[in-house]
């Protein structure tokens, strides 16, 4: 029985990969001074009685490096989309042109860049915490398996494997943060 005890590293890795994917999504929503359609992903619009992602009520385009446009499909929602963008905290002032909402992306000043690097750091810390929580779950599995008869050698092997996996994902988070901060601070 003791020989059959194994820890599901694939499950732990999948969960840590999910934390990285979430971090990348959060980083994509941070403005770096360049227009990006993904910066509108977190914006929700009240449409037809429920909150709806902005990309489900119109087409989001990036026609120029400093311009994002939203072509709203339903004329009755144009004002609601404009209000949702204005209240989203992105710091963008929408301009309306019929059913098209234009979002000129202003240059970031030094103070705003520093604020964004702090926000990026917070996102990275949340990702590190998520990775460490997965590590803790893996270590708990190992303790439970030890109680069921896992040898000390096997326990050390699995603990090292889980720790190596954790270290590699924390390094990925740190690398992603470093890259994003450099991108934000680039003038």
Q: In order of start, what are the domains of the chain with their CATH numbers?
A: 9-27+109-185 (1.10.132.20), 34-104 (3.30.1360.40)
d(CA 78, CA 187): 33
Phi/psi for 132 (5° steps) reads: -65, -35
d(CA 55, CA 38): 10
- Tens digit of each residue's pLDDT (9 = 90 or more) over 74-84: 888 889 988 88
The DSSP code sequence of 8-74 is -HHHHHHHHHHHHHHHHHHHHTS--SS--GGGGTT-EEEETTEEEEGGGTEEEEEEETTEEEEEESS
Q: Give the model's pLDDT for residue 32.
A: 66
Number of Cβ atoms within 10 Å of the Cβ of 123: 22
- Tens digit of each residue's pLDDT (9 = 90 or more) over 18-39: 999 989 888 877 766 677 777 7
What predicted TM-score, i.e. pTM, was given to this entire model?
0.68
115 pLDDT more than 50: yes
4 pLDDT more than 70: no
> Residues of the chain with pLDDT > 70: what percent?
95
Q: Where are the beta strands (DSSP E) in 75-172?
A: 95-97, 100-104
Phi/psi for 173 (5° steps) reads: -65, -45
Higher pLDDT, 180 or 6: 180
Higher pLDDT, 104 or 35: 104
Residue with tokens 């949340």: 126
Q: Give the model's pLDDT for residue 177.
A: 93
Q: Give the model's pLDDT for residue 129.
A: 95
Q: Give the model's pLDDT for residue 31.
A: 65
Structure tokens at 96: 């309306």
- Tens digit of each residue's pLDDT (9 = 90 or more) over 131-181: 999 999 999 999 998 888 888 899 999 999 999 999 999 999 999 999 998
Q: Give the model's pLDDT for residue 138.
A: 93
86 pLDDT more than 90: no
Q: Give the model's pLDDT for residue 99.
A: 84
d(CA 184, CA 112): 10
Sheet of strand 58-64: strand arrangement:
58-64, 67-72, 100-104, 95-97
């Amino acid at each position: 029985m003791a020989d059959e005890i194994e820890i599901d590293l694939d499950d732990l890795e999948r969960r840590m990969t999910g934390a990285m994917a979430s971090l990348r999504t959060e980083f994509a929503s941070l403005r770096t001074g360049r227009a990006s359609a993904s910066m509108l992903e977190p914006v929700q619009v009240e449409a037809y009685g429920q909150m709806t992602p902005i990309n489900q009520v119109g087409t989001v385009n990036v026609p120029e490096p400093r311009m994002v446009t939203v072509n709203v499909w339903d004329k009755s929602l144009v004002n609601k989309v404009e209000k949702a963008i204005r209240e989203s905290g992105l710091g963008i002032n929408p301009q309306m042109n019929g059913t098209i909402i234009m979002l000129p992306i202003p240059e970031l000043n030094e103070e705003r860049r520093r604020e964004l690097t702090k926000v990026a750091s917070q996102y990275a810390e949340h990702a590190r915490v998520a990775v460490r929580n997965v590590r803790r779950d893996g270590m708990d599995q190992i303790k439970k398996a030890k109680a069921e008869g896992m040898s000390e050698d096997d326990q050390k092997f699995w603990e090292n494997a889980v720790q190596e996996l954790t270290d590699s994902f924390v390094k990925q988070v740190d690398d992603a943060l470093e890259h994003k901060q450099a991108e934000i601070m680039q003038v």
